[in-house]
């Protein structure tokens, strides 16, 4: 295996599938199966899942809800997704632990770094819910921070697009994909990979990011085996 320990970031939006809101159970099941394939290869897996399919702090402001309040609502949305994913993983026989950035003790453990690492060593899949636990951050930042804390070798950002393009491929048909790109080039070309807080954290800590299409069968497995899939962002 190319990687022994990975952090997989899944966006909340990807869980919607064709729906406009919420969770598509078929997608959830599909993701669980993909994760199981990688687990069966002996890879240690931590997961951060977003909440954009349910609620985002910035959208709260538009409806007159205080931004900070909205961000906490967003964090709770990520927990709903995390619980759904946990359930899907357990249904196919995997051992999991959900750790939350906000204390919510009757539902899951609080995030404790050493404990998270221990869970991984014991073969449990660790899901980080409720983001970092602070407003004004995103789940991309959570992915970057937690990956550094648990000494993950890479952040695998699973999206609906199969990598980083010169322009948004959903809007510009002439956009071309990068196989590999440096952190500096991403800044220079003003490309959208992650929010800047998350991106800078990865760069400063020399943590590679791979952006890839999570909906493509076997992509996750191919990645951990070292195949060139998606776009690698590195120094």
The CB-of-149 to ligand UDP minimum distance in angstroms stands at 14
Please tell me the total number of residues recorded for the chain in this structure: 235
Binding pattern for the stretch 27-56 against ligand UDP, x by CB under 6 A and - elsewhere: -----------------------xxx---x
Q: How many CB atoms lie within 10 A of CB 64?
A: 7
The residue sitting closest to ligand UDP, measured at its beta carbon, is 50
The CB-of-42 to ligand UDP minimum distance in angstroms stands at 28
> Any contact of residue 78 with ligand UDP (CB under 6 A)?
yes
Backbone angles phi, psi at 92, to 5 degrees: -105, 20
Q: How far lies 24's CA from each of 4, 7, 54, 214, in Å?
A: 30, 23, 12, 15
Nearer to ligand UDP, 58 or 92 (CB): 58
The one among 88, 99, 132, 202 contacting ligand UDP by CB under 6 A: 132
- List residues near ligand UDP by CB under 6 A: 11-13, 50-52, 56-57, 70-71, 74-75, 77-78, 131-132, 134-135, 137-140, 142
């Amino acid at each position: 295996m190319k990687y022994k320990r990975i952090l997989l970031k899944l966006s909340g939006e990807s869980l919607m599938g064709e729906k406009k809101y919420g969770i598509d159970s078929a997608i959830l099941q599909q993701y669980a199966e993909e994760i199981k394939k990688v687990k069966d290869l002996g890879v240690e897996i931590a997961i951060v899942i977003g909440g954009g399919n349910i609620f985002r702090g910035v959208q709260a402001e538009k409806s007159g809800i205080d931004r900070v309040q909205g961000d906490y609502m967003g964090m709770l949305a990520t927990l709903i997704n995390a619980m759904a994913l946990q359930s899907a993983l357990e249904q196919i026989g995997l051992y999991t632990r959900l750790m939350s950035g906000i204390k919510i003790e009757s539902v899951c453990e609080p995030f404790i770094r050493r404990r998270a690492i221990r869970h991984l060593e014991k073969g449990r899949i660790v899901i980080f819910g409720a983001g970092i636990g602070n407003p004004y951050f995103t789940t991309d930042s959570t992915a970057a921070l937690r990956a550094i804390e648990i000494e993950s070798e890479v952040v695998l950002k699973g999206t609906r697009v199969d990598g980083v393009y010169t322009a948004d491929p959903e809007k510009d048909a002439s956009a071309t994909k990068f196989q590999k790109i440096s952190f500096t080039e991403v800044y220079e070309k003003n490309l959208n990979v992650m929010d800047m807080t998350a991106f800078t954290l990865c760069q400063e800590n020399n943590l590679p990011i791979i952006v890839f299409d999570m909906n493509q069968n076997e992509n996750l497995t191919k990645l951990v085996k070292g195949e060139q899939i998606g776009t690698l962002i590195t120094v």
